Every structure is written in C-alpha cells, then in structure tokens.
Amino acid sequence: MELTLQHAAHHLVPLATQTASYLWLIPSFPLVGAFINATMGVRLQRRFGKGLVHSIGIGAMVASFAVACVAFVTLFGLDAEDRFLQDTLWKAFSAGKISVDLGFALDPLSMMMTLIITFIGTLIHVFSIGYMADEPSYWRFFAYLNLFIFSMLLLVMGDNFVLMFFGWEGVGLCSYLLIAFWYTDSQKAAAGMKAFIVNRFGDFGFLMGLFLLFWALGGAWQKAPDGKTTYVETDVHAAAYVAAARGEGHGVAHVEVGPTLNFRELRDQIVIADTGVAEKLKSQKLFGFGILAMIGILLFVGAMGKSAQLPLHVWLPDAMAGPTPVSALIHAATMVTAGVYMVARLNFIFALSPTAMGWVAFIGALTALFAASIGFFQYDIKKVLAYSTVSQLGFMFIGVGVGAYWAGAYHLLTHAFFKATLFLGSGSVILGCHHEQDMRKMGGLGKLMPVTKWTYLVACFAIAGFPWASGFYSKDEILWKAFTQEGMAFPFLGLTPHLGQLIYLMGIVAATGTSFYMFRSYYMTFTGVYRGGHGHGDGHDHGDEHGHGHGHVPHESPRSITFVLVALATGAVLAAVIGIPYAWTGHAPLLEQWLEPALPAMVKFAEASHSTEFLFQFIGVSAGVIGWFFARMLYKDNRSQVPAQLLERWKRAWTIVYNKYYVDELYQATVIRGAVSLARVLSWFDKYLVDGLVNLAGAVTRAFANIDGVIDRYLVDGAVNLVAGSALSAGSILRRVQTGRIQTYLYGALVGAIAIVLLNFIIK
C-alpha cells in the first residue's frame, strides 16, 4: 500500500517542539469553574438562581474551547513535522532517574481529543441546563462536570505518564461522583462504587505496565568482580552517548536515552532506530516472556478497566444510574475512550509487539461481539446504549490493536458524536416520558418529539454504518485494516496467521448486531402507539415544572436540549468528511494526514486492490442494511408478533443473554465471594488469633495489675492507714482527757507530781 510505503520512506527524527505558553489555560478554566461552583455554588444558587451556576460552568467550557481552537489554529499553521506545542510550567518533582514536569503538550492526537472534549463537553453542559432543571443540587452537578473536564484534559494534554495517570484517576473519581450523583438511592451509590472498584483492577495493570516499561528502559543491576552490586547503564546507553558525543547517527544527537516518563522523550528514543532502544526492548525478557508483550498487555489491562472491555466491562452498564448527560459525556464520548487514547498515544510501543497487538485487537473484537449480543434484548433504553458503547469501544480497540491507529482514533471521534447524540436523545426521551427508561412503555414518540426522533435516527444511521454518515467510514476502515493485518500474535500461541481475518469476522457480525439493536431501540421508542401514560406519572408533577399542564403525554424537550441534539447530529454526519477513504478520493483521509505525525509506529498491512476494498465496504454496508431490515420487520410500529414467538421458542437462550450472560453473577460467585470469604478468613484470624493475642497480653497485664493492686491495697495502704488510724484512735481516746476544766488538769498534775514523788522513793 502506498501509505505504508510513505511511512517507511519517511525518516523519523526527534520531535521539534514549539512553545505555546497559553496551553495551561485550557484545563485551568474548568478547574476554576469547578472550584467556584464547589465552594460557593450553593450560596450562588440560593442568591442568584440556577442561571448563574450554569453560566459559570458553561462559561468555563466555552473559554476552554476557545483556547483549544486558538491552539488548533496555531498547530494547523505549522509544518506537519513540527506540530507539537509544548507548555512546561514547572518541574513537579524529581527522584533518582525520574523527573516529572508539570507540562502540557498538544500534538495532533491530543489536539483532536482536546477539541472533542471541550466541544462535546460544552454542548453537554448546555444540554444539562434543561435536563437537570428540577435538580436541587444543581451547583454540585456542574461542579462535578467541570472537574471531570479538567481531569480529562489533564489526561490527554499531560506530557508525561504521571499527569496522564493523575487525570486517569481524576476522571475515575468524577465518574464515581457522577454515577452516584443521586447518592440517596442505594442502588445508584452501589453502581458508583462498582465503577470505582472495577476501575481499580484496571489501574493496577496500568501501573504495573508503567513500572515495567520504566524498568525496561533502564540499565541493570550487575555484580562486579569485587562482589559489589552496582547499577550499570547498558550498552545501548553507552552507544547512544558515544554517538551523541560525536554528533553521529541520524538524529541521535539530541535524544536522551534511558528511563523516562515523558511521552515525547519516550517516542524519540524508541522510534529512532539508531538509538538501539527498540532493539533492546524487543530482545529483553522477563520470566521468559517478551517484556514488550507484558508491557503492552498490562497497559491494556488499564485500558480494559477504563474503557470497559471484557471482562472488566461490568461497571459501564451499571454506570447508567447516573444522570443522562453524564452517561453521554463520560460514559460514551470521552472518559471511556481514555483507554483507546492511551493505546494510540503509545502506538510506538504496542506496534513493536505482535502479541500485544493481537491481545488488544482480540479482546476488542470479543467485546464488540459480546456486548452487541447483550444489546439485542435489553429493554432499558440506556442499557441498550451502554452495551452499544461497550461494543463500539471494542471496535476502537480492534482499530488500535491491529495497528490502524488513526482509524481507531477516528472511530473514537465519530463515536463521540453519534453516541453523544444517541444518549442525549435517550435523555430527551426519558425527560419527555417523565423519567421512564423502559422502551416497552414508550412507542409512538416520533410524532410527539420530532427533533429528538430525527436526530436519533441520524445517529442510528451513523452507528449502523450507512454511507455518508460518519460511522461507516471509521468502522469500515477498522475492519478493513483488521482483515489485512497479518502480523499479529496471540499470547502463548506465537504468531497467529489468520487472527486478523477472525477478528474481521467477529467485527462484521458485531456490526450487523449493532445495526439491529440500534434500529430496534429506534422503532420501539419512536414508532407505533404510545404504550406508557396510564398508571405512570400519577404520582409525579414533573409536567407542571416543564411548563406543560399534563402529566401523562410525552412532550418535546426544551430548546436548550433540542439545540444540542441538532448540533451533535450534524457533527455526526459532518465528521464523515475528514475520513473519506483513499479508495474514493485518491488521497489519504484528512484525519489520517492530520494524525500522521503523532502516530509514528510503522505497521505493515497486506497489499490489496481497491476492488477488494470496495467489496469489503459493500459487505460493511450490507451488514448495516441487514440489521436494519430485521429490526424494521420485527419492531416497526410494534405490530409484528414474531419477536414474542421467537422469545417463546428460544426462552432459555434469551434468558441467558437478557441476564448479560450472568457475568455479574459470575463475578459475584468468584471475585466477590472470594473476596468476601477471604475477608471472613481474615476476620476470623483477626478475631481469634490477633485479638486473642492482644487479649492475652491484656489479661496478663491485668493479672499483674491485680496482684500489684492487692499489694498496694492491703500492704501499702494498710500501713499508711494504720498510722493514720492509730493516730486517730489515740486522738479520740486522748481527747476525753481534755475536758477544758481547769480542775481536771490540776488533778492530773497532782497525780503526776505524787507519782514522781512516789517513784522517787521507790527507785531510791
């Protein structure tokens, strides 16, 4: 392929950086917004109403988006090779070989992410005005949303792993806070905790991968002849230093070799072959496994948690407990794509290891298929979209797994638009139906909510992969690249020749399923007759608050919501422009050209003619059409009896899929039960052994104290009391002598005198 050749011919040099000292503003605005609303929001809301609260939140977003646009224009004006804006604020810390700057960097990839985050983020903030209008703690919602945007921007803009990880954890925190936004409902609070804990498992893998990478880049501990163990730089470092000193080697001169947390330094030393770092990493092994494969797999475990891949996907459907704008922003458009972004950002590492690539792509394909099948039978509209998100994230991982990094990133972008549209559309429906999420109680909403209907339909076409809607271009590029990728390996199995084709097959089935369940949700919601209404809404008075006199019939959402829906649906269509494939136009897709400098990894794909590519695009479109056709046949206007009959016929299979393959139950039986029984064992240990020891020590001390007490009480106190008591009793006896009568004393004196006289006589 020409593109691949272009890549190979392109000579890789260290990245030139341009200083752009305003980059820090982009994440700062949302942080300030979050700070104001978090500290003063409650008072501002009481004093000036909700208008000020959302003005602060949205104002921060608009400012942030504006600065991001300035950065984009600056970046666009540079030569493709020099597109790298850097803004280092200060050195955060350094310890040993680690040195971490608080620095932001924008290259084409993070620029794309930043634009998505700030643009869609702004729209969703606007959407929230209408959706959260009845919420008493409005200020808290906007504070969390802004904090989330800050963390997400830190994640994508940070120029090193530490900032990325900080953002990574920050978005996890905000996700938790927003899922459990209505924390008085214990189920929703539990969903938040589930998301947090499942993500911790992923984060553990991410950190391990990070440590391993850092370690692998460094030297080694070696024993010198005199028995001392010292840390020595490897021959790679030595060679690089010599080359640097001589000014030899292509571009080695300014490349620092060694452990680093900075993405740019990491990229430079790995992609420039003359440094020898890539070769060293490829040959390095740990416990008999290639270290690159381990790094890739472990880093991907982090992505599995954050991006809800099998088997850590369980938190995402539950995360739908949060408000719908949150589902759209965090659990569809931005946060869950952090894993995809991370793999694309580290493309030069993943591309070095066929095993890591195979692992990422295969898990992605498995998740895409698995989640799509669950989406078939869900009735909760948000659950359908949640599984759809899991499935689409699987597609993205197929893309970044097989080495089509730009396609994965492109699918990330298109998905952000159409899934945000779908989620916000579902939010509009839920609002219209007075917080009803069950599609069986909807139907016929198309006439009542025309804007919502049309935008939802457009997004359905986009996700189902119909030409001229964006999803087609990204999905087909991914699947096409998967088919032509032949160099992937499977962990423990070595190079697997037809893995790419297998993944393609899984992907195309999943794509058919995607089309089916999305149109199923569309037809169930918007066609036929309204099935809700009676028996619901009696206890609600939302209707009045929404400015409508009725509480039963759904109604179109306010202007702030429909505006956002239209904007996002337009984006979902227009995003197609930047991804029209080479086979159609004769030049590489615009986005690929844009992202090329940020994705230096060289991945080989099999040669294939344009006619083959057209054939595959045709298959892709047919997959979407087949899914649409069946959904239309079975669910349009709710007239067909076939779904019910099929359900009867395949009751058991349906039950399994409807219950999400019992994955939650599996976790319950294994991980949670295991954890609980371990806790019980430890509790027993604690209670009987540790407490026993402590209590024994206590008892011994107490016994000694008792003995001591006895001694104290009876011996010491006794002696003291005896002295006092004898003095007392002597006094009480002697006081009787002291009568106060002078004669009595005289008698005493007389008796004494007589006694002395008598004694005098006797002793003589």
Catalog residues that contact another protein under the rule CB under 8 A. 738-743, 746-747, 750
- Is 652 or 741 the residue whose CB approaches another protein more closely? 741
Pick the closest to residue 298 from 244, 349, 374 (CA basis). 349
Least distance to another protein, CB of residue 760, Å: 17
Cβ proximity to another protein, 679 vs 753, nearer residue: 753
Residue whose C-alpha is closest to residue 338's, from 166, 525, 210: 166
SS3 content of the chain, % helix, strand, coil (to 5): 75, 5, 20
Write the DSSP string, 349-371: HHTT-HHHHHHHHHHHHHHHHHH
Distance of alpha carbon 278 from alpha carbon 353, whole angstroms: 11
Write a three-state SS string for 314-336. Answer: HHHHHHHHCCHHHHHHHHHHCHH
By beta-carbon proximity to another protein, the closer residue of 742 and 763 is 742
Pick between residue 288 and residue 740 the one whose CB is nearest to another protein. 740
Instruction: Report, in Å, the least distance between residue 732 CB and another protein.
Output: 15
Of 131, 153, 154, 151, the closest CA to residue 143 belongs to 151
- Of the pair 51, 748, the CB lying nearest another protein is at 748
CB of 743 to another protein, least distance (A): 5
Asked if 465 contacts 515 with a C-beta cutoff of 8 angstroms, the reply is: yes
Compare residues 733 and 742 and give the one whose CB is closer to another protein: 742
If the CB atoms of residues 183 and 747 are measured against another protein, the closer one turns out to be 747
Alpha-helix residue ranges (DSSP H) falling in 668-764: 673-684, 691-710, 717-734, 742-763
The set of residues, in sequence order, having a beta carbon less than 8 Å from that of 496 and lying 6+ positions away, is 358, 488, 489, 490
Closer of 1 and 750 to another protein (Cβ)? 750
Report the nearest approach of another protein to the CB of residue 735 (Å). 9
Check residue 494 and give left, alpha or beta (phi > 0: left; psi -120 to 50: alpha): left
Q: Which is nearer to another protein, 468 or 747 (CB)?
A: 747
Assess contact for 127 and 4: CB atoms under 8 A: no
Which residue, 719 or 753, has its beta carbon nearer to another protein? Answer: 753
Cβ–Cβ under 8 Å, residues 142 and 57:
yes
Q: Report the nearest approach of another protein to the CB of residue 761 (Å).
A: 17
**What's the min distance (Å) between Cβ of 744 and another protein?**
9
Q: How far is CA 134 from CA 37, 183, 441, 491, 545, in A?
A: 18, 16, 23, 52, 8
Q: Give least dist CB 694 to another protein, A.
A: 60
Contact 502, 479 (CB under 8 A): no
Q: In angstroms, what is the minimal distance from the CB of 740 to another protein? A: 3
- Please report how close the Cβ of residue 722 comes to another protein at its closest, in angstroms: 28
Write down the least CB distance from residue 739 to another protein, Å.
Answer: 7
Distance in angstroms (rounded) separating the CA atoms of residues 166 and 188:
25
Of 229 and 760, CB closest to another protein: 760
Partners of 230 in beta bridges: 222
| Secondary structure element (H or E) that encloses residue 98, with its range | strand 98-106
Cis peptide before 311, with omega less than 30 degrees from 0? yes
HEC letters along 611-665: HHHHHHHHHHHHHHHHHHHHHHHHHHHHCCCHHHHHHHHCHHHHHHHHCHHHHHH
Q: End-to-end alpha-carbon separation of the chain, Å?
A: 146
Q: How far is the CB of 746 from another protein (least distance, A)?
A: 5
Q: Cβ 727 to another protein, closest distance in Å? A: 19
- How far is it, in rounded angstroms, from Cα 643 to Cα 636? 11
Tell me the angle at which helices 338-345 and 108-131 cross, rounded to the nearest 10 degrees: 170
175 CB burial (10 A radius; 0-12, 13-18, 19+): buried
SS3 188: helix
For 248, phi then psi, to 5°, come to -90, 180
User: Whose Cβ is closer to another protein: residue 289's or residue 747's?
Assistant: 747
CA 426 – CA 389 distance, rounded (Å): 14
Q: Which is nearer to another protein, 245 or 742 (CB)?
A: 742
Nearer to another protein, 494 or 752 (CB): 752
CA distance 603 to 418: 29
**Residue (184 or 743) nearer to another protein, CB:** 743
Residue 708 CB, shortest distance to another protein, in Å, is: 44
The residue (of 685 and 747) whose beta carbon lies closer to another protein is 747
Shortest Å distance, C-beta 754 to another protein: 11
468: closest CA among 570, 572, 614, 576? 576
Q: How far apart are CA 206 and CA 204, in angstroms?
A: 5
**Please, are residues 561 and 325 in contact by the beta-carbon 8 Å criterion?**
no
Nearest distance from C-beta of residue 736 to another protein, angstroms: 11
Instruction: Report in angstroms how near the CB of residue 733 gets to another protein at its nearest.
Output: 16
Identity of the residue, 685 or 745, whose beta carbon is nearer to another protein in the bound complex: 745
Distance of closest approach, residue 757 Cβ to another protein, in angstroms? 13
Partners of 262 in the β-ladder: 160
